[in-house]
Homo-oligomer: A and B are copies of this chain.
Amino acid sequence: MGAQTIAPTSELSPAQPLAADHPGITELFAVLAYGEISAFYRLAEEAALAPSLRGRVAVAKMAAAELAHFETLEAALADRGADPEGAMAAYEGALDSYHRSTDPSTWLESMVKFYVGDGLAADFYLEIAGALPTEVADTVRDVLAETNHSQFVVDEVRTAVALSRSERDRLTLWGRRLLGEAITQAQYVMAQRDELAELVLAATGDLNGIATLFDRMQERHAARMAELGL
């Protein structure tokens, strides 16, 4: 992950930070790690849609950046005494289901998904980061930090939609669908493990806090769509 160019809003800051041994932290690293490895493979697969070798080279670099983030999380899981593959297994269903339900059929859909989907995930996890112990928050921010690949995506999409009104309309609908599926997926992910749901609740304060978080995600999603010319 790490495609967003829109600056994050202020993170949530609950009265007291979570304990460093909160079991939800291992779960958070595990879902982030599975997110990175599945993004790696989805990007590699979707590169078949690229119109040129230049596009395939750009996508390979994006995929490798996701894998570097995966390796950071794998090490963080091992440091906490967790078996990375075992910990990730709980999240395969929800994340694979998200990818299946948002399978791009064109190169531009793939690029919009990369930019918008990664941005939504980053919004969600970065909002939680403010409530985490410093070292954990640093790892989360590190793997969700913007990469220099986002400009390639913005250029590709802006150029295409400036040339075609129908392409713009189609990708606007696609962006809305990605938002809906991402929010559905976020709720599934939280439901996988009590420890993770507790961590999110502790970070957001209460159920109202979660609703506010989703509202803010929608606002920032709109800003990202505008950045793409959509």
Question: B-contacting residues of A (Cβ < 8 Å)?
Answer: 37, 40-41, 44-45, 47, 52-54, 56-57, 60-61, 63-64, 67-68, 70-71, 74, 84-85, 88-89, 92
Contact = CB atoms under 8 A, between A and B. Distances in A.
A74 B60 CA distance: 13
Nearest to A71: B61
Contact of A60 (B40, B85, B92): B40
Q: Which 5 A-B pairs have the closest CB atoms?
A: A44-B44, A64-B67, A64-B64, A53-B85, A54-B85
A77 to B, nearest CB: 12
A56 to B, nearest CB: 7
Contact of A53 (B45, B53, B64, B89): B89
A83 to B, nearest CB: 10
Contacts of A37: 53, 56-57, 60
Binding site of A, secondary structure by majority: helix, strand, loop or mixed? Answer: helix
Contacts of A67: 60-61, 63-64
A40 B64 CA distance: 10
B64 A44 contact: no
A91 to B, nearest CB: 11
A68 B64 contact: yes
A54 B89 CA distance: 10
Given A41-B60, A53-B88, 10 more contacts: A41-B44, A44-B63, A45-B45, A52-B85, A53-B89, A53-B92, A61-B67, A61-B71, A64-B67, A64-B68
A134 to B, nearest CB: 28
A66 to B, nearest CB: 9
